[in-house]
Amino acid sequence: MSLLNITTDGPITTLTIDRADSMNPLGAPGDGDEFHRVCVEINRNSATRCVILTGAGRAFSAGGDIKAMRDKSGTFGGTTPAISDGYRDNIHMMLRALHTLRVPVIAAVNGPAIGLGCDVACLADIRIASEKAKFGVTFLKLGIIPGDGGTWILPRVIGMSRASELFYTGDVIDAATAQEWGLVSRVVPHDDLLASAQELAGKIAKMPPHALRQSKMLLRQGQQVSYDTALEMAANTQAMMHTTQDHAEGVAALIEKRDGRFTGE
């Protein structure tokens, strides 16, 4: 059964984690391959300008499959090299695929985002939460550690102190606290969540597509490189942007006091 339900509305692609009967667990064999395939297709499709990631039913994702942990099966089976490779070749593949998406990603967090589910949401560029959303990284309560790289992901979103607090206590925070801590940009009524995400995605999708993808690349790289390197990357990228028709259109639109009509040329 497919993990992701994919819908497309013009330049906006919505990916829905679709295991609603079990709160959308992640990490089953094949999940990494599916995320990788879908994300490669999105990156190759120049018409796609924004992605919305959400969950079916009452959860965004409750994280790793607890029953698989209990049964010592699949990715969650134990200490053999095959299990370690199950993380590398499945869960890590899924996370790498999301992290390397070239277009902006909005996580529309409709309910609990716990453990692996929280870290998946944090790989999005922007997070919007329903008032029913909850966030936690409860790995220690299960006697395990964040095998998905969450110790790298979460501090970059909310800072080391608050990330450490969540990891070390296993506490689950509500949507209002998540907004206060900077984990989400905004909290909206539950029934308005997808419409709010679509409205934001629509604004993003109106931007010039090449400049949009390059801006995401520079934002991501800017977290890892020196300021001098970031300046050099910006100068080289900007030189290319000045040669595009979309740049000329943006300048003309500003002078003529109208919205730009960007074509990706």
List of residues 6+ apart from 150 with CB closer than 8 A: 115, 116, 118, 119, 122, 137, 139, 167
Predicted pLDDT at 176: 98
The reported pLDDT for the residue numbered 41 is: 97
Q: What is the pLDDT of residue 213?
A: 93
Domains of the chain: 4-205 (3.90.226.10), 209-255 (1.10.12)
pLDDT at 79: 60
pLDDT of residue 68: 74
CB 68 within 8 A of CB 27: yes
Per-residue pLDDT at 35? 96
H or E segment and range at residue 238: helix 227-241
pLDDT at 87: 83
Give tens-digit pLDDT for 81-118. 555 567 888 999 999 999 999 999 999 999 999 999 99
pLDDT at 84: 59
Please say whether the beta carbons of 47 and 84 come within 8 A.
no
User: Are the C-beta atoms of 133 and 111 separated by less than 8 Å?
Assistant: yes
Q: What integer pLDDT is reported at residue 86 of this predicted model?
A: 73
Residue 99 and residue 123 in contact, taking contact as beta carbons nearer than 8 Å: yes
Position 229, amino acid: T
Tokens linked to 6: 């994919």
Query: Mean of the per-residue pLDDT values for the chain?
Result: 92
Helices (H), 144-225: 150-158, 160-169, 175-180, 193-205, 209-222
* pLDDT in the model for residue 78: 62
Collect the ranges in the chain with pLDDT lower than 70: 1, 73-85
